[in-house]
Structure 1
Amino acid sequence: MKINGRCPYLVIVGATATGKTSVAIKLAKKISGEIISADSRQIYKYLTVGTAKPQGYDIPYHLVDFLEPKEKFSAGEFVRLAEEFIEKIAARGKQPIIVGGTGLYIKTLIDGIVRLPSADEKLRQKLHKLVETRGKKHLHMLLKKFDPASAEKIHPNNTVRIIRALEVYYLTGKPISHWHKIHSCHSEPAVAGEESRFQFKIFGLEWQRDVLYERINNRVNWMLDNGMIEETRKLIKKGYQKDCPALQSLGYKWVLDYLENKIDYNKMQQLIMRDT
């Protein structure tokens, strides 16, 4: 199948525990493919179990396990690296298969990058301080006040995205959802990003809700039984701070609370299942 005379590259998306990785690996073996991960958690070193990082695969799997836990990584950086890998894989005569994971990464790769203000560290420090003093719920309520559309899409525990959305609002006077909407319509060149140089064909994996919840719970139990707590403890022993980007990933906050005796094992397990 061709789009505008070009063969599209494959993108496999779906919620947590829908089986994206296993499908991608099986597909890659059949069509001589190489996988590009679009997962914002699997990029980090040392966190393997809690991010369900693919293990033991016998095909090339790119953009996993390459970034230090203290380093930040943006959607723009993902697009730059993903496009480089797409070109290299295609040049080898192989089929790139993008698998995610992180909706923002996929959207940015396909739709292009919205040119928004760069990070303002002083503003971010103020917002982080607000989290420490008032809590994540307060920050999410603040976002809901200024940008209801984004607040509906961003989980209250996703502090990184909430802070970025508030940062854009404070710096531009308009919510980030406004800029994304304009970009998707390409109606205002001043903020529109460059469109992707590639064509994509997207496949989504779905399960019935009750089955998906069971799969998620089984995954959480497997992660806790197979080293998620220990890998978190080791990361702290290596000297990484609790607020480093890698440990902002879903689940690790509750493991940290458990290690600090703030919650018991059952509560930690329930909270990870809820957030996942």
Structure 2
Amino acid sequence: MIHPHTYIHPNARLAQNVKIDPFTVIHQDVEIGEGTWIGSNVTIMEGVRIGKNCRIFPGAVLGAVPQDLKYDNEKTYVEIGDNTTIREFVTIHRGTTDRIKTKVGSNCLIMAYSHIAHDCIVGNNCILSNSAQIAGHVIVGDWAIIGGVCAVHQFVQIGQHAYVGGGSLVSKDVPPYIKAVRNPLSYGGVNSVGLKRRGFTLQQINQVLDIYRIIYNKGLNITQALEYIEEEFPATDERDEIVTFIRESGRGVIKRFTKGANDED
């Protein structure tokens, strides 16, 4: 299952049924889980941990040292969960002393030419479309979708089940369950279609809609809106996730779109 033109360091640990195509290089201290396929011309560098049944397409580079001048050759890692697909020419850099590792969860699809920088945490069931560029220390929640050619600023957080439209510049946090669209990036409503596909009930979706109407349409500041939501809405996982995310946001959350004089319809 391993082509003779592939180089595998003697210290690398490969499980059963791993298939590796020609001209791929596996460095030392790499672990690859059962059933994973790695295509041609892939480079997997020191400190990478890949789960079961993953697919790594040609040209990907995993585990290169971070593009961070503070990095001082410390021992850090990249972790990839099970059943994740990494397409052509994706780059994922290992962590620094901040989080020690860069992590991509299970059942993710990382499309061609995307970049995930040092110390990022990408949750489970996420999709990064072609050429999504994720700077260091970013957190992406479970089931989030980031459109093609997006640029995500360092330290940004994107909440679970959020959708970020293609071509966006993401410099503020994106709360969970919403669509982030337009330029500058703004609140574009609740990701109702995605929530329905994932089994959320109509009651759950309507509560999320009502919560974001308070946050974005009622004319309250963030502190007032969160206090109102906690007083007036019954406690649910969705309510608590939204309130906690916004309250703990380090960069502040995206705002409602305001039409300017030069904006077209």
Q: Aligning the two structures, in what range does the TM-score lie when normalised by the shorter sequence?
A: under 0.3
TM-score w.r.t. length of structure 1? 0.24
Greater share of helix residues, 1 or 2?
Answer: 1
Higher relative contact order (CA 8 A, sep 6+): 1
TM-score w.r.t. length of structure 2? 0.25
